[in-house]
């Protein structure tokens, strides 16, 4: 269902939109917003986001920059991913990579301040 909606938006952009000119108060335009929303969130949620955007695009609106919100992964997806990584022996994003392990540099005196800082605090 997603692709026919995207095709309709492209058809509008190629045929009707050039005749109307740049009349949208928001950036990106409502048709670009709708295309991105449906492409990113799917047919149902993307159509709802697009309808809400079109309702906000009225003479009393101030307009401005309004990007499509990023797609969020559901909580069950994060839990499933962490369980899969734990089963495979990999590390999850919630735990540091060197937890519970000792390395030769941690037993002797560290040679640099970076060696004193845990890897999760370094952004690694």
Note the pLDDT of residue 24.
Answer: 85
Angle at 3 between CA 18 and CA 29, to 5 degrees: 35
**Who has greater pLDDT, 13 or 98?**
13
Peptide bond into 28 cis (omega under 30): yes
Helices (H), 16-68: 17-20, 30-41, 43-56
In this predicted structure, the answer to whether residue 108 has a pLDDT above a threshold of 70 is: no
């Amino acid at each position: 269902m997603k692709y026919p909606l995207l095709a309709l938006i492209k058809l509008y952009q190629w045929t009707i939109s050039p005749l109307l000119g740049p009349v949208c108060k928001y950036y990106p335009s409502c048709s670009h917003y709708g295309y991105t929303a449906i492409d990113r969130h799917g047919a149902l949620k993307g159509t709802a986001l697009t309808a809400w955007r079109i309702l906000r695009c009225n003479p009393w609106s101030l307009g401005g920059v309004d990007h499509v919100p990023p797609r969020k992964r559901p909580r069950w997806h994060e839990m499933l991913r962490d369980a899969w990584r734990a089963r495979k022996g990999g590390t999850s994003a919630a735990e540091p990579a060197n937890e519970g392990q000792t390395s030769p540099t941690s037993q002797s005196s560290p040679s640099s301040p970076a060696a004193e800082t845990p890897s999760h605090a370094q952004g690694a």
